[in-house]
Structure formats: C-alpha cells, structure tokens
Amino acid sequence: MILPGKTLGMLGGGQLGRMFVMAAHAMGYHVIVLDPDPDSPAGRIADEHIHASYSDQWALEQLMNNCDAVTTEFENIPASTLKKLEQSVPVRPSSAAVEIAQNRIVEKTFLADNGFETARFFPIYDKDDLDFALTQIGTTAILKVASFGYDGKGQAIVNNLDEAIAAFESMGSVHCVLEEKISLKTEVSVVLARGTEGKIACYPVGENHHVNGILEYTAVPSLLSKRILDRAINEASVFSEKMDYCGVMAVEFFHTIDDRLLINEVAPRPHNSGHYTIDACKTSQFEQQVRMLCGLPAGSVDLLSPVVMFNILGDIWSNGEPDWSQLLSNPDVKLHLYGKREARAGRKMGHFTCLGNSTVELLEETRRLANALPKP
C-alpha cells in the first residue's frame, strides 16, 4: 500500500486531474502533475507542475524518480509514455488498458471480440472503406475519428456516400469508425473501481442526457428498471475483468428504444457522469482513484441522497462571469467551477449538483435552476 505522505503522479492537468489533486491532498498525498499547458487547472493546485509534453524524456524521468505511483486523467496519453513509466513505477490503469480505450477501432473490436453488444461499426482507414460500410449499415450512420474525440467532437452524422466522403475528408482523412446511428431511449453509465486484487466496487448507475454530443446532466437513482440497471453493472464489471483493469473506469451505455443495452465507449479514468459521487456518495470517484492507485481497498460506493449533476458550459459566459447568487442561495446545491481561464462555447467550465428527495423532483428543480442561469 502506498500511504499518505507519498507522492502521486498525474498525467494531464484538466478538471479531472484537478479533482484528483483535491482528493489526494485531502488524504495527505503530494501530487506532481504533468501537462504541457503552464496554466492547467490541475497543475495550478498541484505540489509540482511539470509543464512539458507527455513524451518529454526529462519530464518522464522526473516522474519516475519522484513519484510512488502514476495515473492519468485522460486516455490520449501516448502508450509509449505509460510503458516507459511502467518500467520503474506502478502505473494504474496500465498502458495496455489505456491503449485499448484510446482508439475507437481497438476499443470496439475488443468489445466485440469479448462478446459485448455495441452499435454496428466498421473501421474506416481510407475513404474507399466508406461505401461498403455504409451499405452494410444501411441507415443513418455516424462517422467518428478513432482517436482524440471528446464531447462529440470529431463526429458527423452521414446519410449517404457523398456526405460520408465529405465528412471523412473534413476530419483530415484520419482513421475513423463508421457506426450505426442508434434510436436511443436513454443513456446510462457505470463508474466502477477495480483493485489490484480484482475486487470490484460499482457506483449506482447514472442516467445520462446529452445535448449535441455533450453530457448535459446525470440523474441518480436512474428511473430505468432494475433489470436494465443490474445488467449495466454486470456488463461493466465483466468488461473490467476482461481487461484485468486496475483503477477507476466508466462504461457508457446506449439504452435503445427496443430495450437493448449496447456499450458505447469506456473511459479508463473517472468520468463526467461520475461527478455526482463527489457530493452524493460516501466516497467520491476521485478519492476512489487515489485508493485504487495506492493499492488501498475501495471506499464505500453507497449513495447518500438522490442527486442530479448538471454541466455548466462556457456558452453562458457571453456577458462575463455569470451571476451565481440564485444557484448558491439554494441550500441543496453544490457548485463546482474548474478554474479554467477562458470560457468557450461548449467548453465544460464546471457543474452543479442538486441533492433532494427523488430523481423526478430533482430533475424539475435542476431544470429550473439551469434556466435561471444566463442564456447563451
């Protein structure tokens, strides 16, 4: 076990890294953040911030020499970086796990090979692959870049070959997947922790609502049937076992209008849809990430209260800093702002969670609170 007083390395300095630093500090660990941005949200509050690229050999030597274990806040860290660090320090999750999650072709192929149901998909390496894939899918499809997509960026809905070719070329003709556009009833996600000895702790399933490919809110407890929720938990658990995963991970699911549960994607780290755990669970997903990294047992995943987490995007900064007074005058609301210097449309700047008696009531209250924020 790596105990408080030791130093943890975090690859990536975004909001997820920042919330990890906060949790690690609360428990008495030191944190070194590596991020090329000199002003990154996590780097600013870390004990040390190395601003260098993720493949800078000097920076990696620093982490290897000064950290007792290293983790990551996003999946696009080069696998070569994780492999190098792994030679001299525990890296959780492993390079092998991150390598699967960082490329949609590898990830979806891994899912399919292990018997998990996904939306039908085809790897697209070249524009000549599009015709066959579109014909096979036979309906509206979504073209997604294989690497570096987030918040629905690097995606296009396509209805025919001309649109598919235009979208592929506009994405720079990089490797992509073409997947069937699913008729969704809703979306859910499971955040879980799996320890060094394989013990799994799953948080309650979050029910997610997206707008334009960006998560808008997560509600817990979900209103879906226990049968579907148990299935999501079971699939996520089995998936983490197949990967021999160590750390916190999130599995995103589509729940289709014909009642199927498909895995959309996995994140080898805490997830936006798990932010509700900070205020509504005995152990936040970030404390859990610290615990998994340090070889400690998982903290309790018990839900303390029904909750809705609502994302705050940069769009509402068009007239400067929003007036938070109404939000903050509600005693059941927790506001989290990530300390990003620049607000841009679609950029996640923070979130708020609203705690209360029931999901249905909270969905209404959250909508009312969101509507009272400045209009984009």
Size of the site for ligand ATP (CB under 6 A): 19
- CA angle centred on 324, ends 322 and 330, rounded to 5°: 155
Q: Which of 256, 247, 212, 252 is nearest to 376 (CA)?
A: 212
Q: Smaller CB distance to ligand ATP: residue 245 or 253?
A: 253
Q: Applying CB under 6 A, does 73 fall inside the site for ligand ATP? A: no
Number of other residues whose CB lies within 10 A of the CB of residue 100: 23
Q: For residue 246, which amino acid is it?
A: C
Query: Which helix (H) or strand (E) segment is 188 a member of?
Result: strand 184-194
Give me the least distance between CB of 294 and ligand ATP, in Å please: 26
For the window 76-115, what string marks contact with ligand ATP as x by the rule CB under 6 A?
----------------------------------------
Report the alpha-carbon distance of residue 19 to residue 314 in Å, rounded.
Answer: 19
Give me the least distance between CB of 157 and ligand ATP, in Å please: 9
Report the alpha-carbon distance of residue 237 to residue 251 in Å, rounded.
Answer: 9
Among 181, 231, 260, 347, binds ligand ATP (CB under 6 A): 181
Report the alpha-carbon distance of residue 248 to residue 278 in Å, rounded.
Answer: 14
Give me the least distance between CB of 32 and ligand ATP, in Å please: 26
CA distances, 174 to each of 67, 71, 128, 149, 170 (Å): 36, 28, 13, 12, 10
Q: Smaller CB distance to Mg ion: residue 207 or 252?
A: 252
Give me the least distance between CB of 19 and ligand ATP, in Å please: 16
Report the alpha-carbon distance of residue 342 to residue 262 in Å, rounded.
Answer: 36
Q: Smaller CB distance to ligand ATP: residue 187 or 287?
A: 187
Q: Applying CB under 6 A, does 216 fall inside the site for ligand ATP? A: no
For the window 319-358, what string marks contact with ligand ATP as x by the rule CB under 6 A?
----------------------------------------
Q: Applying CB under 6 A, does 184 fall inside the site for ligand ATP? A: yes
Report the alpha-carbon distance of residue 134 to residue 121 in Å, rounded.
Answer: 10
| Range 243-262, binding Mg ion (CB under 5 A) | 252
| Range 118-177, binding ligand ATP (CB under 6 A) | 119, 142, 144, 149-153
Q: Which residue ranges make up the site for Mg ion (CB under 5 A)?
A: 252
